Amino acid sequence: MAMANRLSAAVEKLKSNGVRMTPQRHAVLEFLMNSKDHPTADDIYKALENRFPNMSVATVYNNLRLFKEAGLVRELTYGDASSRFDGNTAPHYHVICQKCGRIEDVYRPLLRDIDDEVAKHTGYSVDHHRLEFYGLCPSCRTLN
Ligand code: ZN
Ligand code: MN
């Protein structure tokens, strides 16, 4: 879906959940849906603080939690490191730079059979899987 459509669909979803849209909330949502680099709450705060001097990092966090509850964003957790947020909730894989921390989407077909395979071997009912590729991004490679 095009970004503008995804954004207005997301706004409708929030409204139907009874969430009041404020200019800040809209800006956080829009920023997230426009970004391809999986920002942290702090990244989003820094990008918007000039436009909204009264906004706090806590506001950004609260909005992200709200969006997550509404199924509009995916939170990517990496141990103790800050969570990264993904405005694309469709299942996809990520490639991660171990030097600069950049996270990008990987466009390749999903491994559809692996959930069933793991379920069969473990007796678990498997709901989804997470797959990440680690290495160096093109700019970090040239610096090496
Ligand atoms: Zn890098
Ligand atoms: Mn992603």
Q: Which CATH number belongs to the domain containing residue 78 in this structure?
A: 1.10.10.10
In degrees, to the nearest 5, what angle opens at C-alpha 11 toward C-alphas 6 and 14? 125
Q: What is the pLDDT of residue 143?
A: 78
Q: What is the pLDDT of residue 6?
A: 87
Span from the CA of 35 to the centroid of ligand 2 (angstroms): 10
Span from the CA of 85 to the centroid of ligand 2 (angstroms): 8
Could you tell me if 32 and 100 lie in one domain?
no
Could you tell me if 79 and 32 lie in one domain?
yes
Could you tell me if 44 and 72 lie in one domain?
yes
Could you tell me if 57 and 125 lie in one domain?
no
Span from the CA of 51 to the centroid of ligand 2 (angstroms): 26
Q: What is the pLDDT of residue 39?
A: 97
Q: What is the pLDDT of residue 5?
A: 87
Q: What is the pLDDT of residue 123?
A: 98
121: containing domain: 93-143
The total number of structural domains in the chain stands at 2
Residue stretches of the chain with pLDDT short of 70: 1, 144
Span from the CA of 104 to the centroid of ligand 2 (angstroms): 6
Could you tell me if 82 and 97 lie in one domain?
no
Could you tell me if 70 and 103 lie in one domain?
no
Span from the CA of 97 to the centroid of ligand 2 (angstroms): 14
Q: What is the pLDDT of residue 92?
A: 93
